[in-house]
Amino acid sequence: MLSDLPIAVIGAGAMGEAIIGGLLRNELVAADQILASHPREDRRRELSHHYGIQTTHDNLAAAQWGRVVIFAVKPQQLRRVLPPLRGALRDDDLAISVIAGATIASFAEALDHQAVVRSMPNTPAQIGCGMTVWTAAPAVNERQRGWAATVLGALGRELFVDNETYLDMATAINGTGPAYVFLMMEAMIDAGVHLGLSRRIAEELVQQTMLGSVQYAIQSGLHPAQLRNAVTSPGGTSAAALSELERGGLRTVLADAIWAAYRRSVELGRNG
């Protein structure tokens, strides 16, 4: 699908590197098909040494070189990065954004280019276990959609939606979701240490419990409420713990957090 297709990555930070690594790990492209841009020379050397790819400090050169141009800069950098690239992409090039809140319309206007894909990956993409939700502008043809699915699939699982409004919703779930999980892990580990466990043991218990619980939920196909009820014996330890979580308003706090993330994603899109 991507054979001999030049791939440009503008903003080769953590997510940009995840894309580079995923493409190479899955043998979807050769190293010499990738050109990554980054302002810091030490970062460019690091990427070249580790992956054998080409690098540049010049975003315009990267944009003009790639047939698929992936934008992975931070949201606050967009207003500086995009204007110099206006008109740089050819009609049959594809622009892919992995930037939170950045709308298709804002990219199309800034670049004067209509073939734009907007996506929302998450940090587990860095180990090929990500969840990426994406959508495409009407100008993106079937072949270009195939390119996008292949690129984003290199990060883990990819899911296409036909309504861009879902991207802000997805940002609040899969994009921000790892932060919720990490905070819960941190709290559980600290509580284990407070009980008297060593930090090493507490970390191992929490990590494997999280991993096993998620895998069990996926493989069982059961609703989370069914799984929770199955582990909650009347008058038992799980019942006591869950009673405290409900009393503390865990569901409401999580819902409020997800809504806050959604509103912030919409706000970033408006400001972009």
Query: Is 230 within any annotated ligand binding site?
Result: no
And the tokens for 216? 């069990």
- 130-136 and 116-120: which strand pairing? antiparallel
Q: Is 75 annotated as a binding residue?
A: yes
Q: Report the 10 Å Cβ neighbour count for 134.
A: 25
The three-class DSSP label of residue 198 is: coil
Residue 122 labelled as part of a binding site: no
Q: What is the Cα–Cα distance from 32 to 53, expressed in whole angstroms?
A: 6
**Residue 121 labelled as part of a binding site:** no
234 is in an annotated binding site: no
Q: Is 169 annotated as a binding residue?
A: no
CA 163 to each of CA 48, 119, 169, 174, 198: distance values in angstroms, whole numbers, following the listed order: 37, 12, 11, 17, 48
11 annotated as belonging to a binding site for a ligand: yes
Adjacency order of strands within the sheet including 54-56: 54-56, 34-37, 7-10, 68-71, 94-97, 116-120, 130-136, 156-160
Bridge partners of 116, per DSSP, are: 95
The answer on whether 96 is annotated among ligand-binding residues is no
Annotated ligand binding at 74? The verdict is yes
Binding residues for NADPH, as ranges, are: 59
Binding residues for NADP(+), as ranges, are: 10-15, 72-75
Binding residues, as ranges, are: 10-15, 59, 72-75
